[in-house]
Each structure stands twice: as C-alpha cells, then as structure tokens.
Amino acid sequence: MTFPDTVAPAAAVSTSRLRLAQGVVLLFHLTGFLGLAFSDDPAFYLRYTPLTLLLSAGLLAAFQPGRGLVFWLFVGQTFLLGMVAEIVGTNYGVLFGHYTYGATLGPQYLNAPWLIGLNWVLVTYLAGTLAAYLPVGWPWRVLVGAVLMVGFDLCVEPVAGRYDFWHWAGEVIPRTNFRDWFLLALVLQLLFVRTPFPKRNPLAPLVYLTQVLFFFLLGWR
C-alpha cells in the first residue's frame, strides 16, 4: 500500500516576509508568557488566547504552498474529526476521560469549544510537517507525527486547569487521555500523509517549538 508523498520543495519564500512572521509569532507568545507568568492580572492576557491561535493558523496558512481544494479538504476533515472526538469526550467520557472546558477557548458547541477543533488542525499540521522532513517512509512519519502531537499535549496538560482551558474530574489527568490522544493522532497523521498537498512550511518548526516551550515553561512556574 502506498500513499501520495507530496514533499517537493516549496516555492521560494521572501526572507523578509518569513522573518516578519517569525517575529510576530515570537512577540505574541513571549508577551503571553510574561503576562501569564508574572502579571498580577493573567486574565487580561488569557482573553487573547483565541486571537493567538487564530493568528498562528493564519500565518501558517499564508506560508503553505499549494493551498488548493485538497489542502482545505484536509483542514475540514481534521477539524471535524477533532470536534467529534471532543464532543464525545466531554459529553460521554468515552474518549480521553472525564473533563469539562472552561471559558478561555471561547464559544462552545455541545460543550466543546470551536477553537479546539482548530487546535487539532494546527497540532496535526505542525507535527505532520515536521515529520515530513525526515528521510523515512510514511509509516515512520505517521508514528513520529503522532509522538510529536502527544508531546505537545504533555506540555499543555499541567497548566490547562490553571488557566481555565479545561478541567479534569478530581483534578487528575488520566492515563487514558494520553492513550486516546496517541490513537487519534495516528488517525490524523495517516490522513495528513495520504492527502496530496505539499508537506513543507518554513514557519512550522518555529511555531511548534514556540508553543511547546510556551506551555513547558509555564508548567514550571
């Protein structure tokens, strides 16, 4: 069985545009980190969480070559799969465990924020793009991408309750959360690999690293 492996080099990107986008990503995350970690009013900075998420998504889309129908089909499918998983998880506890969402991620549908669907798209895309740089076959890229996704969640979970992203029953993160994250990540990475669009984005490495460090360092505060 073979899947499309569209990893041809992307078209030349303006260095000045890329540096500007990287600067914006760093500025937003650095400001957010300092505000949440050291401000007397972290709620002021939390209200900009949706904006930061949307900004990151927009910038990544701007540097994605070949944004055709197939690419947006991947985005839509990933968004729907992520939302369905979260709706099932929050309402029935079948996936991930028993948890509820707070107000930080904004408006919700059936107890799951719309932005969490976008977050699944971003994490899948970032992890898959990084894995696509590896000179290995698609099964290894699927596996590495899934591990990178779980690694991201490992950094977020310790601070999620503190900043009202979501709350676990009994304030205990269940092991089933990471198991189900990995299983869903495998499905989403398989979708990423088999969808034929260019798997290159010069902004992706910085966005993934910045977000991981952002939550990892907050966890040590």
Residue 8, in any domain of the structure: no
Q: Would you state the pLDDT for residue 6?
A: 58
Q: Would you state the pLDDT for residue 8?
A: 46
Q: Would you state the pLDDT for residue 11?
A: 46
Is the Cβ–Cβ distance between 207 and 15 less than 8 Å?
A: no
Residue 48, in any domain of the structure: yes
Q: Would you state the pLDDT for residue 174?
A: 94
Average pLDDT per 10 consecutive residues for the chain, totaling 221 residues: 52 81 96 93 92 96 94 98 97 94 96 97 98 95 98 96 95 94 98 96 97 93 70
Residue 3, in any domain of the structure: no
Domain assignment of residue 23, given as a range: 15-219
Residue 33, in any domain of the structure: yes
Q: Would you state the pLDDT for residue 10?
A: 45
Residue 4, in any domain of the structure: no
Angstrom distance (rounded) from CA 139 to CA 141: 5
Q: Would you state the pLDDT for residue 48?
A: 92
The 3-state DSSP composition of the chain as helix, strand, coil percent (nearest 5) reads 65, 5, 30
Number of domains composing the chain:
1
